Amino acid sequence: MSDLQHTRVGIVGLGLMGGSLALALRGHVPYLLGVDRQPATRQAALRDGIVDEAVEALTPDAPPVDLLVLATPVRAILDTLTRLPALRPDGCAVLDLGSTKRAVVAAMSALPERFPAIGGHPMCGKETAGLAAAAADLYRGQTFVLCPLPDAPPAAEQLARQLIAAIGARPVVLDAARHDATVAAVSHLPYLLAGALMRGAADERLWAISASGFRDTARLAGSDPRMMLDILLTNREAVLDALREAETELAAVRDALADGDEAALAEWLSAAQVAYAAYRRFKSGEHLLPGAQT
288 binds its own copies (CB under 8 A): no
DSSP 110: T
Instruction: Rule CB under 8 A: say whether 199 interacts with its own copies.
Output: yes
Q: What is the CA radius of gyration of the chain?
A: 21
Nearer to its own copies, 47 or 283 (CB): 283
Nearest approach, Cβ of residue 195 and its own copies (Å): 4
Q: Which of 37, 83, 114, 244 binds its own copies (CB under 8 A)?
A: 244
- In the chain the beta strands, taken as DSSP E runs, fall at 8-12, 31-35, 53-55, 67-70, 93-96, 117-122, 143-148, 170-173
Q: Give the total residue count for the chain.
A: 294
- Quick check: 24 and 139 in contact, CB under 8 A? yes
Q: How far apart are alpha carbons 54 and 35 in whole angstroms? A: 6
Q: Which is nearer to its own copies, 62 or 265 (CB)?
A: 265
Exactly one of 113, 283, 288, 294 binds its own copies (CB under 8 A); that residue is 283
Contact positions with its own copies (CB under 8 A) in 222-241: 222-225, 228-229, 232-233, 236, 239-240
CB of 245 to its own copies, least distance (A): 5
Is 132 a binding residue for its own copies by CB under 8 A? The answer is no
Pairwise CA distance, residues 178 & 189, whole Å: 16
Binding-site member from 12, 102, 221, 234 for its own copies (CB under 8 A): 221
Task: State which of residues 3, 48, 56, 247 lies at the interface with its own copies (CB under 8 A).
Answer: 247
* Alpha carbon distance 288, 226 (integer Å): 37
Binding string, residues 155-194; x marks residues near its own copies by CB under 8 A:
-----------------x-x----x--xx-xxx-xxxxxx
Q: Residue 291, interface with its own copies (CB under 8 A)?
A: no
Pairwise CA distance, residues 99 & 186, whole Å: 12
The one among 32, 65, 124, 166 contacting its own copies by CB under 8 A: 124
CA–CA gap between residue 100 and residue 176 (Å, rounded): 8
- Burial label for 90, CB within 10 Å (0-12, 13-18, 19+), is exposed
Q: Could you tell me how many residues of this chain bind its own copies (CB under 8 A)?
A: 90
Cα–Cα–Cα angle for 142, 144, 148, rounded to 5 degrees: 170
Name the segment binding its own copies (CB under 8 A); options: 36-44, 101-109, 154-162, 244-252. Answer: 244-252
Q: Which of 2, 39, 266, 293 binds its own copies (CB under 8 A)?
A: 266
- Rule CB under 8 A: is residue 93 a binding residue for its own copies? no
* Stretch of 35-43, 87-95, 156-164, 200-208 lying at the interface with its own copies (CB under 8 A): 200-208
Judge residue 139's burial from the number of C-beta atoms within 10 Å of its C-beta, 0-12 exposed, 13-18 middle, 19 or more buried.
buried
Decide: is 106 part of the binding site for its own copies (CB under 8 A): no
Strand-strand pairing, 117-122 and 143-148: antiparallel
Binding mask 38-77 for its own copies (x = CB under 8 A): ----------------------------------------
